[in-house]
Chains A and B, each alone.
Chain A
Amino acid sequence: MSTLKVFKSLVKDSLDIITRGSIKYLIWMGFLTFVMLAGMYCYSIQLEEGLIVTGMTDRVSWGLYISNFTFLVGVAAAAVMLVMPTYVLKDIDFKQAVLIGEGLAVAALVMCLAFVVADMGGPSVLWHMIPGIGVFNFPDSMLAWDVIVLNGYLFINISIPFYILFKHYQGKEANAKVYVPGAILSVFWAVGIHLVTAFLYQGLQARPFWNNALLGPRFLASAFAAGPALIILVLAIIRTFTSFKIEDKTIKKIALIVTVAAQINLIMLVSELFKEFYSPTHHSESAIYLFFGLEGKTALLPWIWTAISLNVLATVLLTVSTLRNNFKVLYFCCFMLFVAIWIEKGFGLIVPGFIPGPYGKISEYMPTGIEIGVTLGIWALGAFVFTILAKTAIGIETGELRFKAKND
């Protein structure tokens, strides 16, 4: 009877809470809105002129958009590292962090989808990809799989927190029998989205740099480092600026996850480097280009070496437990790790796949201002979505938002 009424009141309350806040909050949202508008303006130019306004060419046909997409799939998948200990291993610490993690996953997925759309040459015919109305090349195309798993994951990550928050909003306890199966499903699904995204590249025999069995596992390891690292940073911010209680224990546990994942990631990096450089073949040329440059073309060199230095430094610091338990060092490490993996798994992975080209042609890629503008706009969109979700969730969890309270 009243479910609809409760929902209506929830929407009204959350609209109310997200439009009010401290001056810092308002500046933050205003800033994001401005960046989004700037991004939309850049995108309108791209729509008008075509993808010619980006740095992409027939030689390097994927660039910043697909790089960010790949990275963000990892961030989205990382929410699982909080869900699993909470719901599967019954470690109660994480429960509140999970809501934040899932909010982050939703924001990351929104960004992923936005990046894919931004990369499309014909966004007006995107309905061709909708199963049922369009023609879906399933199961042959990994991109078709990706569309399904990403949207499925988005659905799971919206519905579970929504159910929990909806119950809490009414002052009721969420029924574990309802959401735990969903949570368990999301654990497998998260691994799925990232493996499928890796397979997207891994399955291409045309690109030896990607056509590599380690790509999938390495995607997972780097995702479980970068994603929870971002969650730690976000929790740190939430702890400082809101009344939401997050225990030290929670952050320390997540830090442990980050550390182990970063270590595994580093081992895989070493294994990859060994394979490429111990006995370099024709197929190692992309790696040579990435790490040392080919024929005087060295655009990625400063980036990848920055990434590797940050990666190693952060992993070493995190490994020492006294340093890891010092929150200042921890936050710094998480930031380094996040940046390092963004470079390494973003354009450090996508761009060298195209260089050298199928016939050995080396032509470099440099994103244009418009491309960067759209990219920043989409990141701002993600931050905007996350802030809205987090503010509502925190409002409900701290008891500030309650359905009953209004009726009294």
Chain B
Amino acid sequence: MSGIGKYFKLNMNSATKQTSGSCSCGNSSGGCGSNNQDQMSDKDFDAAVDAAIGDERTKDGFEQVFDVKMDRRTAFRKLTASLVIGAGAVSSSCSLTTGENSKEKAQIDWEEQFKGNYKLMTDEEKKGTVDRLVRSYQLRKGENIKMSSTNAVKDVLFGYAFNISKCQGYMDCVNACVKENNQDRNSEMQYIRIHEMKDGEGLKFNEADDNYYHEVPAEGHFYMGTQCFHCDNPPCVDVCPVQATWREEDGLVVIDYDWCVGCRYCMAACPYDGRRFNWSTPEVPEEEINKNQHYLGNRMRKKGVMEKCTFCVQRSRSGKDPACVEACPTGARIFGNLLDPKSTIRWVLENKKVFRLKEDLGTEPKFWYFMD
């Protein structure tokens, strides 16, 4: 788990502490490829979900809320919560129509409202909140989702490379990303922007069109994609007043959607337009929801919180490529473990003339561009 309670951190260039080539799985091919581990964790996870839901069925509400170990912070929070619950309890106990389900829903809502920051949670607490969210979804929608809280794997540092020569602007990556990550369909939120630039004029982002609706590849143009670059020295993380966004051990910059207060300071601090805000309640048609979720990734968001590309944490931490990489028909997108000397991404970094955007800002993006 990433730095717990660290006040000062000097993590600039922390990518250089490379203990070369020992991904926990040993043999890797693209991504981390720690397949064994993932099968294990999937099984573990399923068992955990069953166990947890079973538990909630047997335990009564009082035990669920109070039969937990707590420190000072949680204790205080519980006290506050219980005051409000008390008021709610009076009204609900007087109502004869309130069913078991709605009581459980209310229970979960209180637990969720007053839970801590995911970054500082123990693995057990993480599992607890994930179980609650899964159960809550079940109660509300009558559907089962799978949500993981898989932590970063040791000796993995994710990186990304983009081949400008190959990209033709098809935007398959954008579509795949929207579907994979359950982005709001109303506002047509997209993490990836594809910039269409004129040949022979260099990288002129200000003259590029990032919102085109015509046949591609357009004559005399080339294409360049941007998204969150998962900086190694991310300015967005420093500015967050509540540590709702942070850099994980495997280099992913993630957000705890439930801890975010929605001040949008990170958005102002990001030099790469990598962050998106839920201006209204995000809506995804039930049948289109990707039910394979990660707490830090594509689980359903609510209004008033930030979100962004997570390199598809639900996929990358199970050894798969992000959706955009998989969807790209031209092979312009390359993803992998920077600490694995045999990975494709390392080959690109070592054999191509790579560059990054706005390097002068000192943000150390883990997203490189190159040309054939």
Contacts and interface: CB of A to CB of B under 8 A. Distances in A.
Given A121-B277, A147-B241, A356 B206 contact: yes
Q: Is the interface of B mostly helix, strand, loop or mixed?
A: loop
Interface stretch (B59-67, B95-103, B130-138, B254-262): B254-262
Given A128-B261, A129-B261, A144-B241, A121 B304 contact: yes
B267 A50 contact: no
Nearest to A201: B268
B76 interface: yes
B7 A138 contact: yes
A165 interface: no
A58 interface: yes
A126 B264 contact: no
A121 B263 contact: yes
Interface string A101-118: 000000000000000100
Q: Is the interface of A mostly helix, strand, loop or mixed?
A: loop
Contacts of B262: 51, 120-122
B195 A126 contact: no
Contacts of B80: 127, 133
Nearest to B236: A206
A121 B244 CA distance: 13
A121 B268 contact: no
B280 interface: yes
A97 B123 CA distance: 58
A124 interface: yes
A62 B268 contact: yes
B269 A204 contact: yes
B271 A57 contact: no
Contacts of B363: 205
Given A122-B262, A124-B113, A137 B241 contact: yes
B77 interface: yes
Given A135-B243, A359-B210, A128 B7 contact: no
18 contacts: A50-B304, A57-B279, A58-B276, A61-B267, A121-B262, A122-B302, A125-B261, A128-B244, A133-B77, A134-B242, A141-B241, A143-B240, A285-B206, A358-B273, A359-B193, A359-B195, A360-B208, A361-B206
B117 interface: yes
Contacts of A147: 241
B80, B193, B303, B361 pick with most chain A CB within 10 angstroms: B303
B120 A141 contact: no
B349 interface: no
Pairs A-B, 4 closest by C-beta atoms: A121-B262, A360-B206, A121-B304, A206-B271
B309 to A, nearest CB: 14
Interface residues of B, number: 59
Interface of A: 49-52, 56-58, 61-62, 116, 119-122, 124-129, 132-144, 147, 200-201, 203-207, 285, 353-354, 356-361
A206 B264 contact: no
Interface string B50-77: 0000000000000000000000010011
Given A121-B263, A122-B304, A133-B77, A50 B243 contact: no
Contacts of B76: 132-133
Nearest to B72: A132
B238 A141 contact: yes
Contact of B240 (A56, A141, A285, A359): A141
A125, A143, A357 pick with most chain B CB within 10 angstroms: A125
B206, B207, B241, B363 pick with most chain A CB within 10 angstroms: B241
Given A121-B303, A140-B9, A360-B204, 5 more contacts: A51-B262, A121-B260, A121-B277, A138-B7, A206-B361
Contacts of A205: 235, 271, 361-363
A259 to B, nearest CB: 34
B290 interface: no
A133 B241 contact: no
A139 to B, nearest CB: 7
A203 B238 CA distance: 10
B243 A137 contact: yes
B206 A50 contact: no
B259 A125 contact: yes
Nearest to B275: A58
A204 B278 CA distance: 22
Contacts of A120: 261-263, 304
Contact of B259 (A50, A51, A52, A128): A128
Contacts of A359: 193, 195, 205-206, 208, 210, 226, 273
A61 B273 CA distance: 11
A119, A122, A134, A140 pick with most chain B CB within 10 angstroms: A122
Contacts of A49: 280
Contacts of B116: 135
B32 interface: no
A116 B279 CA distance: 16
B268 A353 contact: yes
B265 to A, nearest CB: 5
B265 A121 contact: no
Nearest to A126: B261
A352 B207 CA distance: 19
